[in-house]
Structure 1
């Protein structure tokens, strides 16, 4: 009788070698000779799931939704709620100067009753210590309205505002976005267009007014860009003297710019200071005689047909105060100047500062 051989359990290493050999044999097998059981097992593995079909479909939709959400967030298309105190409205030199009070009251009533329908746009500046955590690109009226509502409620309501966080790539692109938004929603005045271009040159964003107008108003016609260059000249020469500049219509702006090219800036400044105008009409009356005189005088061909570029002005970094006001020092061909920025700046505040400066200078 033959002796039975006792079987031994293979070691883990031997089992791995056996499995590897089987895989190699299957890979070398001609088409059609693959064991049917292998296909059956593979198919079962692919379709095996501990979840019901409806749950698997819901999980697939959730995954697709999450991918779309991440893509939208990356493009700045998802609005987020931002605290009002984290947003700086004047980090960019605003193109709009005057807010119509009747329109503002209507906007506040709409937001109070139905909420803000369109989020504002902001970006994260490279100098948050001066410009704030978020700098406003577009939505100045909406932000102002929500801040007023917050103040009326004593700070209890409207503490945040929905916003799109953009990545404009440059300050120039942010200015373009701001101007386009205002042009579409509530047209800028002629003077505000020119002021936006001149201020961008003054802030060092562009080398000259021609470059600023070409970029900021790139979709405007050639004739309109030419007019905006004239409006920019008015701001360069008379901007600090005109209290009702936005009341000037297009024809008045063009006549005034033509007169300025004849060298009447200084006499116009003196006339405005002496007039103490209390309305746009009175301000225009103070300038009209010089405009008419210039229209009767021959044009100096040496002055050309375009406004001059802004003179070089050195500016210090803005210093942000606890009350939200920012101040900066300027030095240029016309001397030194101190500028105040912020929603809390009022004529009374500036008058008080001027009075303190006067006392200081009288004591030196």
Structure 2
């Protein structure tokens, strides 16, 4: 019987090493790779969606952004508010210091990191003064980004905000109408008036339109245009319409007058209007008197009774008969007695 061969290991050292456990040979990873990929994809999608949502909100003017004040172009539009009282500005600054900026301004992107101001000029000016007082070199302002399709939309936004927040004078309202036409935003003043003040009553638009002759004559000549009252302004408008030469005389009066206050300027305008009205009245009376005939005749038989403009009477015709002189004298005596009574 053949002997069995004993099998030996190729490397006897292997016999001294304990056999590995079955579990350790096939251990699964702690986290499945597919779960990591799904989680990362979900987070990325959510982040992209949030980014897109915030970008749309910013572009559509639904999100308040903080902008450097020196990037705001304050004179991008012709402003309708011409003068801001110092007391009013100090009150606004006090409110901003105590409560912060409660209402954002409205701007439009101009490119190169600049923004054109649509509404909020007073807030920007107040924040600028505050920065000077506090020696702050990097003041900021809260703003809403707008994307007006037309320049007229930007002007309309400015006018509507100031109609709500600021008590503009009729001169200032009429001036923005004239300037909008001058800037080419509207073709005619009538169109600009209708579009910019479409929410106003017809009577109010009519008064604003009536101030346009005053704006043409006095824009740049008045120091206190916001103080020009409605009644005085309408009177000046009528006088300027009736006599185009009145504009030059009115400007000359303003140039030569001392008017350090609104009351002083109003007094100059009032006096000029009074003189103008008296001149027009005198001229019309002189013209009417000149147009009247010097006398009016009434024929009675062979005689003519002439009534003169000064009230005197003349009898014209053939020589007065001698026999009728006594009758005439009696008639004149009776008339004289009646006048005496």
Normalising by the residue count of structure 2, what TM-score does the alignment of the two structures yield? 0.64
1 CA distance for matches of 2:77 and 2:257?
Answer: 32
Match of 2:274 in 1: 292
Structure 1 unaligned spans of 5+: 1-48, 52-56, 299-364
Question: Structure 2 residue aligned with 1:181, among 161, 164, 167?
Answer: 161
CA contact (8 A) 1:104 1:145 kept: yes
2 CA distance for matches of 1:93 and 1:70?
Answer: 30
Question: Structure 2 residue aligned with 1:168, among 148, 161, 170?
Answer: 148
1 CA distance for matches of 2:155 and 2:35?
Answer: 55
Q: 1:223 to 1:294 in 2, by over 3 A?
A: farther
Question: Structure 2 residue aligned with 1:146, among 122, 127, 142?
Answer: 127
Deviation of the 1:104 alpha carbon:
1.6
2 CA distance for matches of 1:66 and 1:93?
Answer: 36
Is 1:159 paired with 2:139? yes
Match of 1:209 in 2: 189
2 CA distance for matches of 1:209 and 1:71?
Answer: 36
Question: Structure 2 residue aligned with 1:109, among 81, 87, 94?
Answer: 94
CA contact (8 A) 1:81 1:163 kept: yes
Match of 1:273 in 2: 255
Match of 2:206 in 1: 226
Q: 1:184 to 1:270 in 2, by over 3 A?
A: same
Deviation of the 1:146 alpha carbon:
0.8
1 CA distance for matches of 2:102 and 2:167?
Answer: 20
Any residues of structure 2 matched to 1:1-364 within 5 Å, and which? 50=35, 68-125=53-110, 133-156=114-137, 159-263=139-243, 264-295=246-277, 297=280
Moved over 6 A (4+): 57-64
CA-based RMSD: 2.9
Larger radius of gyration between Structure 1 and Structure 2: 2
Q: Deviations over 1:107-135 (max 9, x none)?
A: 21222233211111111237x7xxx8211
CA contact (8 A) 2:253 2:272 kept: no
Q: 1:290 to 1:100 in 2, by over 3 A?
A: closer
Secondary structure of the corresponding residue to residue 135 of structure 1 = strand
Deviation of the 1:167 alpha carbon:
0.5
Secondary structure of the corresponding residue to residue 198 of structure 2 = coil
2 CA distance for matches of 1:74 and 1:169?
Answer: 13
Deviation of the 1:226 alpha carbon:
1.1
Deviation of the 1:66 alpha carbon:
5.3
Deviation of the 1:50 alpha carbon:
4.6
Deviation of the 1:185 alpha carbon:
1.1
Match of 1:318 in 2: none
Q: Deviations over 1:130-185 (max 9, x none)?
A: xx8211000111101111111112125x6211111111112211111011111111
Secondary structure of the corresponding residue to residue 117 of structure 2 = strand
With 63-72 and 256-265 compared, the bigger mean Cα shift is at 63-72
CA contact (8 A) 1:194 1:233 kept: no
Number of residue pairs the alignment of both structures matches: 244
Normalising by the residue count of structure 1, what TM-score does the alignment of the two structures yield? 0.60
Deviation of the 1:68 alpha carbon:
4.3
CA contact (8 A) 1:86 1:134 kept: yes
Deviation of the 1:275 alpha carbon:
1.5
